[in-house]
Structure 1
Amino acid sequence: MTRRTAVFGAIVVLVTAGVTAYALSAIAENDRRTSTATAATTTSLAQIEKGPRILFRHTGRDADYGHVGAVALAAPDGARALTDRSCDRVHAQEESISCLATERGVVSRYRATDLATSTPGKPWREVDGTDLPGLPSRTRISPDGKLVASTVFVNGDSYMVSGFSTRTLIRRIGGASYGDLERFTLVVDGRRVAPVDRNIWGITFADDGRTFYATVATGGRTFLARGDLTERSLTTIADHVECPSLSPDGTRIAFKEAGEDGTLWTPAVLDLATGRRTVLAGETHSVDDQIEWLDDDTLLYGLAREDESVSDVWALDTSTAATPRVLIPEASSPAVVR
């Protein structure tokens, strides 16, 4: 064998090894997103409601698709309870549930329904609700269970050449509505403004009954804004923040950060006191969801499987080296009830 032949053979071995390693890595990553994990057996709602739990929207390809389900917080991949309540988005606190749903017909209607869960194991009771002006997108209930926010997609705004804009409302459950948040006083970069193209979405509540956080978009920019229900105001405090979610200890905001081309969203965490951002690059797929906190160090979000109508709830620690993992198969729209 000549020296040239030997070198060529070595190169072939190295290239083949590299291609094989890449292929195996790609297969493993594809398997991570096309998981065939299925939901565990079912149990009664009374059993699940005995303790802390996670509510979610069931996405299994069966007769219960779209129905609200629940699992024990201690066993999220264990037996689940499935209800007869169908929702596009769901959120919950100890005694309150918000359900945004599409009522399909010749002309589809959209509805926000508030439910009470004061008696564990008993059917959820409707206590309030309102018609929605567009397709359900996001909902959140305040920590005390007294306030509820809903965001929908609408079309027809004069400044939109194509696509959708948003409408976001905050209501007191069983009480008055604060109306469309676009009517609130808006302060951007320290200056009071009134742009016609403003869009507001992704509400998350503090625990004082008046403070909330939201995404505000205007002029091609997105901001994190602090809202005040008493003052009926929104004041921007950071930029490039979408769908905020306040941590249980009230010190950090989890959100999705858009990439340069605006087509990939990566989970990230913002420290409210220091302004320090941590981008969680361990999640390499686009997270188009409003993140939920499992605890002070773990985030939850829904991700669709490739080429399937099924999605799963994934968990991701807030350390930069963390790797995502499936927490609840066949689920979306998680809400932690402690």
Structure 2
Amino acid sequence: MTLSLSRRLLVLAVAVLLLAGLAAVLVVRAADRADRPGTGGPEIAAGGVTLTRQGELLFLNSGQGPHRGALASVPAGAPQSARTASDLDCRRFYAAAGTGVCLRSSPGALAQDNKALIVDADLRTLRSLPLAGTPSRARVSPSGRFAAWTVFVSGESYGSAFFSTRTAILDTRTGKLDSSLEEFAVSMDGRDYRAQDVNFWGVTFSKDDDTFYATLATAGQTHLVKGSISRRTVTTLAQNVECPSLSPDETRIAYKKRVRPGATLWREHVMDLGTLREHALAEKRSVDDQAAWLDDRTVAYALPTDGAADSTDLWTVPADGTGAPRLLASGASSPSAPR
């Protein structure tokens, strides 16, 4: 049976309405997903974020959507709950005692707008400094006085055959900037050491506002060094230590250890600074991050999100080597726990 012209127009109109309704549903669902760090991830909305609110966990939101890269906060006891996103966007971030360091990177391989922002507890910029390369690591001393950052001057990662880093320390009170730790005097095995290939990265600070630990790389080896800001010196302590992180009680460091020479595979370890004895943690996946201590018993670190490009998840593991890795927050990086 042949449909009349009027019936054909009616069918066409109904079809258009149905397609329009379907499109609207898809748009709403897409918008809903855009405000989540990943499929099925926690909700995130703009709001007030401060650096001194106790009982909260701070991190950078790495999920897709309008708040990608934003500093966010959640209750520390419910890290998978809804997130509050600030308007501060960073590539790397760390905070302590109401002082934050935000490393920004503009798009492109030849980015000229890389900056380190020093922010106060309400995320107001106190100082902006140019960076010599791509942001890699960031730390603030427990008192908030000193901030440190590492950038890649060339190369793409710590797994590259050739790369160069530059690590700086800023006194946020006086404004004095040590623009490169390569200018510090190095003592290795009790002797002065000088070499053209010296690189530093991954600073972590003590509570005394002078002592710090970091990684020194030279002659194909990485070393844990203990440094003094006032004396501008570093002394080697142990080999095969990268990206150290000092525990809150200052008796141990967490760090990544290369498990096979020449391979880009690292295993998270903890070392007792009194004895230099080390033990591996329960995380057996390769961790290319500077871990952060959430408390004296727990270490947090970022790992790539399964099936998602340019996104990481935060995981935790007991610092004593027992237990098993646990997901802390999906679509997140650069954790800080205000104390």
| Category of TM-score, reference length = shorter chain | 0.7 to 0.9
Moved over 3 A (4+): 40-44, 46-50, 104-107
Query: Match of 1:170?
Result: 169
CA contact (8 A) 2:256 2:267 kept: yes
Is the alpha carbon distance of 1:198 and 1:274 closer, same or farther for their aligned partners in structure 2, counting shifts above 3 Å?
A: same
Tell me how far apart the structure 1 counterparts of residues 252 and 168 of structure 2 sit (CA, whole Å): 23
Q: CA deviation at 1:324?
A: 0.5
Which residue identity lines up with residue 215 of structure 1 in the other structure? T
Matched, 1:45 2:45: no
Aligned-pair CA distance for 1:164: 1.7
Does residue 115 (structure 1) correspond to residue 116 (structure 2)? The answer is no
1:113 partner amino acid: L
Bigger mean CA offset, 284-293 vs 103-112: 103-112
Per the alignment, do residues 284 and 150 of structure 1 end up closer, same or farther by CA in structure 2, a change over 3 Å counting? Answer: same
Q: Is the CA contact (8 Å cut-off) linking 2:49 and 2:73 kept in structure 1?
A: no
Equivalent residue number for residue 198 of structure 2: 198
| Residue correspondence of structure 1 range 137-216 to structure 2 within 5 A | 137-155=136-154, 163-174=162-173, 175-216=175-216
Aligned twin of 1:278: 279
Judged with a 3 Å threshold, the aligned counterparts in structure 2 of structure 1 residues 128 and 320 are, in CA distance, closer, same or farther, namely same
Specify the SS of the correspondent of 1:322: coil
Question: What is the aligned partner in structure 1 of residue 70 from structure 2?
Answer: 67
Moved more, 287-296 or 320-329: 320-329
Shift of 1:104: 3.5
**Structure 1 Cα separation of the partners of residues 39 and 275 of structure 2:** 41
Counterparts in 2 of 1:126 and 1:46: CA distance versus 1, 3 Å: closer
Structure 2 unaligned segments of length 5 or more: list them: 1-37
Per-residue CA distance 1:262-311 (angstroms, 9 max, x = gap): 3211110000011110111x212110000000110110001112342221
2:131–2:151 CA contact under 8 A, matched in 1: yes
Q: Tell which structure's C-alpha radius of gyration is larger.
A: 2
Cα offset, 1:260, TM superposition: 1.4
Q: 1:69 is matched by which residue type in structure 2?
A: A
Task: Report the AA paired with residue 293 of structure 2.
Answer: W
2:123 is matched with 124
Deviations 1:211-230 (A, max 9, x none): 00000010011100000011
Counterpart residue number, 2:240? 240
Q: Secondary structure at the match of 2:114?
A: strand
Deviation at 1:163, TM superposition (A): 3.0
Q: 1:88 aligns with which of 91, 96, 110?
A: 91
Aligned match of 2:316 = 315
Partner of 2:80: 77
Q: Which residue of 2 aligns with 1:104?
A: 107
Secondary structure of 1:182's match?
helix
The match for 2:23 is none
User: Residues of 1 paired with 2:317 and 2:266: CA distance?
Assistant: 14
RMSD over aligned CA atoms reads 2.1
Q: Which amino acid aligns with 1:71?
A: V
